[in-house]
Amino acid sequence: MELRQLQYFLTVVEEANFTRAAARLHLAQPGVSAQIRQLERELGLPLLDRSGRTVTTTAVGEAVLPFARAALAAVDGLRQTVDEFAGLVRGQVTIGLVSGAATDEFDVAALLADFHDDHPQVETALTEDTSERMLAALRRGELDLAVVGLTDEDPPPGVSLQVVIDTPLVAAMAPDDPLLTPVGRTGIPLAELAGRPLISLPRGTGLRGVLERACAQAGLRPRIAFEGASPTLLARLAARGLGVAVLPEVPPEAAAALGLRTLPVTAPRLRGRIALAWPANGPVTPAAGALLARMRKAFPPV
């Protein structure tokens, strides 16, 4: 009995068809059939019923099916364990990234490129989405890791966090905006923003959640005139006088280059936090664990 015969058997069962199974295995159909017949001769009983339009398991085939699956899973586990000891991580990692998180100081692209160079057998998939949806995807097991914006102080249920960016939120506006008077203001109370058209990230993002929670606690209703996934787009809209953008703190020289003036949001002071997030019970694969360890080292907690 050979492992490949068990693999062919399982694939035919899953596809219920020899031709489809052979295509999935990238083999010729007669070769797959011959190997399964050899397995049946060795066991002494037929495993598959070929008499109908689709291939089904016989009573014996159904009985041995879990053992075939267990045998192949055991071999995969053995290989995975050896790979871990040898440092040859393989598999797939799916990462979620909140819009605007990839910056020069938080260079996810460079980190992923270096990780790929060290582990070329790992397939890495990257997707952008809102923090709310990514946290839900982590809990469902659809993502291995995520870079998310946070709304609350406490970690969401079922998720572990490492906060890597913690910065004040500012109100960004055109240089002639009335909110900038009197000259010399050092901040803008949240209540003064409530009646103004605001420019913000979409619902489900951490920054939007911080803004909405603070307004709700103060009994205010924010008037969102524009929303977009890119902080740069929000800044440009604000620079053209279309509203006040609520953004993470912008360096003065960067704000000037965009034609903006910024002031911290006060009473209460708001903060934007970005965190690495992963399932609370730990990464489910060695590949995900290796990438998480690298990201936690590259982007230390604040």
Query: Taking the complete model, does pTM exceed 0.75, yes or no?
Result: no
**Whether pLDDT at 103 is above 70:** no
Write out the two tokens for 72: 């192949």
pLDDT of residue 83: 76
Q: Which residues of 249-279 are buried (b: 16+ CB within 10 A; e: fewer)?
A: bbeeeebeebebbbbbbbeeebbbbbbbbbb
**pLDDT tens readout for residues 110-158:** 999 999 999 898 999 999 899 999 999 999 999 999 999 999 877 788 9
**pLDDT tens readout for residues 231-268:** 889 999 999 999 999 999 988 888 999 999 999 999 89
**Whether pLDDT at 286 is above 70:** yes
Position 100 confidence tier, pLDDT thresholds 50, 70, 90: low
Mean pLDDT of the chain: 91
Phi/psi region, residue 250 (left: phi>0; alpha: psi -120 to 50; beta: rest), is beta
Position 104 confidence tier, pLDDT thresholds 50, 70, 90: low
Percent of the chain topping pLDDT 90: 72
Domains and CATH numbers, the chain: 3-86 (1.10.10.10), 88-302 (3.40.190.290)
pLDDT of residue 102: 62
pLDDT of residue 89: 77
Q: How many CB atoms lie within 10 A of CB 121?
A: 12
Sign of the torsion angle spanned by Cα atoms 284, 209, 245, 197: positive
**pLDDT tens readout for residues 38-63:** 999 999 999 999 998 899 999 999 99
Q: How many CB atoms lie within 10 A of CB 6?
A: 22
pLDDT of residue 18: 94
Position 159 confidence tier, pLDDT thresholds 50, 70, 90: very high
